[in-house]
C-alpha cells in the first residue's frame, strides 16, 4: 500500500510539473520582459584561406522571474545565409516557441562555412548576418560576423563602429600589398600622408554603427584631418578602386553602402588621380579651406553628391560624375574651383548636374547667413541631363554686389531653361556662359545614358566644340588616355575616337 501511494504521488508530482511547464499562463507576456545576450556581436575570428567552417556560441539569457517563450528565432537571410544555427540542441535557420525558464539561459551555436577560393561575389570579404529574436512583441538582434577572404583588414578585423586615428608623425604610409584592403570602421588620417598607389583595391565596409563619439551613423569613413594628406595615384592601366565591400551583382549599383571620403578643414595637397569612387553616401566631401586636385577619375552610384565642396579649393580635370542621387557636383559657400574637360550628368532624378552658391544659411529661412565669394571656372565641360535645368546658381546678393559671384563657362555644353527665363541669370548665355551650347531634350549628346555610356555620340552637339587647353598646364589626353584633337578637342571627359 505504501509503494502504491508513493507511486501515485510520484505520478501526480510529474503531472503537476509537466502541467506547469506547458501552462501558457506561467509564461510572462509582459513587453518589458526582454532577452539578454552574452554578446551583441558574435565574431568568427578566423580569416579563411581554404574551405572550412567554424563554430561560435552565445548565451540567450532570461533575467526575469517568470519563464519566457521566444516566439521566433531566425536568420535574417534565411536560406541564403552562410550561417546555420543550433538552438538548445536543435539545428536549423528558424525556430519557434523556444522556452527559457525564469532566471535561466540557453545556448545558441552558430556555424559558418566559407570557401575563400570562390569569387568575392560569392564569398565576400566580410560575411555578416543578423539573428532575429521575437519575444512578446519585442524584436532584438545579434550580429554574426566572419571574414571570408584573405585580405588586408585595415586597421583590423575588429574595428567595426570604431574611430581610429592613423598617424605617422608627418611621415608617409604606403599601401603596397597586392592583396585588397578592406577598410573597417572610421579612419582618421592625421599628421600623415596616406599613399595609395596604382592598382590598389579598397573595399570599405559600411552599415549602421553606433558609438559614443558619433552616436548612430553609417560606418565606413575615410577622413583626412588638417595635418593629414591623401595621395591617390592610379593609372589608366591600374586605376585605384574605392568602393563598398558588397560585391554581389545585386549590390553593384547600390548607393550609400559606406560613408565616403572627407577632406577635412584646412587639409592641403590632396590628390586623387585615375580612381573610381562609388557606392558611398558622398563620393568626396571637401571642407572649408581644404584643397583637392582630382584627375581622370569617376564618381558614381552615390546617395549624395559625387563631389560636395564647401568654401574650399578644388581643381578637376577629365572627371566623370554620374548616377548621383542628388546634385552630381555641389559647390557651396563660395570657394575657388576650376573644372576642365569634366562631364557632370543627372538622369532620371529631379536634381541638377551642377549646383553652386556663395553663402551658408544658419536659419531655415536663411535670414541669418554668411557670404563668401565664389570663383568658379568651367572649360570644355558637359553639364547635362534629363531635367529642364541641369544647373542651379544662387548668388546671395542677387547680382547687386560685385566680386562675390565670379562664375565663367567657356566652350561648354549645358542645359538650362527656367534659369534664363527671368531674374538675375536671364543673360546667362552670352555673359556667364560664352561660348556655350544650350542643348534641348531632343539633341543627341551621349552614346547611351540609359546604359551609363557617356562617350559622345557620332551626332553629338558637343563634337569639336572645345578649345585646346595649355594653361595652367597642357591637357592633351582624355580620361581613357586617348589623345585629344590638337585644334578642336571635344568637351567632356571623353574624346570621341573616329
Exposure of 400 by Cβ count < 10 A (0-12 exposed, 13-18 middle, 19+ buried)?
A: exposed
Q: Which three cell numbers stand for residue 125?
A: 570579404
Residue-wise pLDDT tens digits, 458-468 = 999 999 999 99
- What is the distance between the alpha carbons of residues 286 and 267, in angstroms, rounded to a whole number? 9
- What is the distance between the alpha carbons of residues 12 and 288, in angstroms, rounded to a whole number? 80
Instruction: Name the DSSP class of 475.
Output: B
**CATH 2.60.40.10 domain locations along the chain:** 36-147
Residue-wise pLDDT tens digits, 67-108 = 999 999 999 998 889 999 999 889 999 999 999 999 999 999
CA 338-340-345 angle, 5° bins:
100
pLDDT, average across residues 487-497: 96
pLDDT, average across residues 173-190: 92
Q: How far is CA 12 from CA 15, 16, 20, 229, in A?
A: 5, 6, 12, 78
Using DSSP, state whether 17 is helix, strand or coil.
helix
Q: Are 189 and 225 in contact (CB under 8 A)?
A: yes
pLDDT confidence of residue 162: 79
The fraction of the chain above a pLDDT of 70, given in percent, is: 93
pLDDT band per the 50, 70, 90 thresholds, residue 160: confident
Averaged confidence pLDDT in the chain: 91
pLDDT band per the 50, 70, 90 thresholds, residue 451: very high
pLDDT, average across residues 366-387: 95
| pLDDT tops 80 at residue 11 | no
Q: For residue 29, what are the contacts with CB-CB under 8 A and spacing of at least 6? A: 136
pLDDT band per the 50, 70, 90 thresholds, residue 332: very high
pLDDT confidence of residue 121: 82
CATH T-level topology, domain 36-147: Immunoglobulin-like (2.60.40)
User: How would you classify the pairing of strands 104-114 and 52-62?
Assistant: antiparallel
| pLDDT tops 70 at residue 18 | no
Q: Are 334 and 372 in contact (CB under 8 A)?
A: yes
Least confident residue range of 7-21, 216-230, 284-298: 7-21
Least confident residue range of 6-20, 237-251, 315-329: 6-20
Amino acid at each position: 500500500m505504501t509503494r502504491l501511494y508513493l507511486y501515485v504521488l510520484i505520478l501526480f508530482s510529474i503531472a503537476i510539473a509537466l502541467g506547469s511547464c506547458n501552462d501558457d499562463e506561467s509564461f510572462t507576456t509582459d513587453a518589458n520582459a526582454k532577452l539578454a545576450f552574452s554578446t551583441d556581436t558574435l565574431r568568427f575570428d578566423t580569416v579563411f584561406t581554404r574551405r572550412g567552417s567554424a563554430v561560435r556560441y552565445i548565451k540567450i539569457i532570461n533575467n526575469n522571474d517568470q519563464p519566457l517563450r521566444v516566439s521566433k528565432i531566425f536568420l535574417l537571410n534565411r536560406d541564403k545565409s552562410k550561417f546555420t544555427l543550433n538552438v538548445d540542441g536543435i539545428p536549423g535557420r528558424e525556430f519557434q516557441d523556444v522556452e527559457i525558464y525564469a532566471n535561466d539561459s540557453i545556448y545558441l551555436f552558430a556555424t559558418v562555412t566559407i570557401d575563400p577560393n570562390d569569387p568575392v561575389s560569392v564569398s565576400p570579404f566580410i560575411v555578416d548576418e543578423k539573428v532575429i529574436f521575437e519575444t512578446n512583441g519585442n524584436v532584438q538582434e545579434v550580429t554574426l560576423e566572419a571574414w571570408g577572404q584573405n585580405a588586408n583588414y585595415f586597421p583590423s578585423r575588429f574595428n567595426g563602429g570604431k574611430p581610429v586615428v592613423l598617424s605617422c608623425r608627418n611621415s608617409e604610409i604606403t599601401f603596397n600589398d597586392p592583396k585588397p584592403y578592406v577598410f573597417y570602421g572610421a579612419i582618421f588620417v592625421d599628421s600623415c600622408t596616406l599613399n595609395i598607389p596604382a592598382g590598389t583595391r579598397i573595399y570599405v565596409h559600411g552599415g549602421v554603427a553606433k558609438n559614443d563619439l558619433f552616436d548612430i551613423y553609417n560606418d565606413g569613413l575615410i577622413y583626412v584631418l588638417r595635418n593629414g594628406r591623401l595621395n591617390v595615384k592610379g593609372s589608366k592601366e591600374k586605376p585605384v578602386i574605392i568602393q563598398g565591400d558588397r560585391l554581389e551583382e545585386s549590390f553593384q549599383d547600390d548607393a550609400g553602402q559606406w560613408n565616403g571620403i572627407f577632406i577635412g578643414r584646412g587639409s592641403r595637397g590632396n590628390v586623387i588621380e585615375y580612381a573610381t569612387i562609388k557606392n558611398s553616401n558622398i563620393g568626396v566631401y571637401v571642407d572649408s579651406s581644404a584643397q583637392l586636385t582630382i584627375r581622370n577619375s569617376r564618381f558614381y552610384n552615390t546617395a549624395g553628391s559625387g563631389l560636395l565642396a564647401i568654401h574650399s579649393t578644388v581643381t578637376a580635370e577629365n572627371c566623370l560624375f554620374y548616377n548621383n542621387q542628388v546634385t552630381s557636383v555641389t559647390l557651396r559657400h563660395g570657394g575657388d574651383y576650376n573644372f576642365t574637360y569634366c562631364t557632370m550628368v543627372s538622369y532620371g532624378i529631379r536634381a541638377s548636374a551642377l549646383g553652386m552658391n556663395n553663402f551658408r544659411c544658419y536659419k531655415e529661412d536663411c535670414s541669418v547667413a554668411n557670404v563668401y565669394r565664389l570663383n568658379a571656372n568651367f572649360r570644355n565641360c558637359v553639364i547635362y541631363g534629363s531635367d529642364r535645368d541641369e544647373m542651379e546658381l544662387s548668388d546671395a546678393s542677387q547680382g547687386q554686389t560685385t566680386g562675390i559671384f565670379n562664375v565663367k563657362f567657356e566652350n561648354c555644353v549645358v542645359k538650362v531653361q527656367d534659369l534664363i527665363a527671368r531674374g538675375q541669370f536671364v543673360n546667362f548665355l552670352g555673359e556667364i556662359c560664352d561660348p556655350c551650347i544650350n542643348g534641348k531634350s531632343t539633341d543627341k549628346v551621349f552614346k547611351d545614358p540609359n546604359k551609363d555610356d557617356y562617350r559622345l555620340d557620332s551626332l553629338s552637339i558637343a563634337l569639336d566644340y572645345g578649345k585646346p587647353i595649355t594653361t595652367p598646364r597642357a591637357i592633351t589626353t582624355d580620361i581613357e588616355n586617348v589623345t585629344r584633337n590638337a585644334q578642336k578637342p571635344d568637351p567632356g571627359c571623353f574624346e570621341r575616337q573616329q
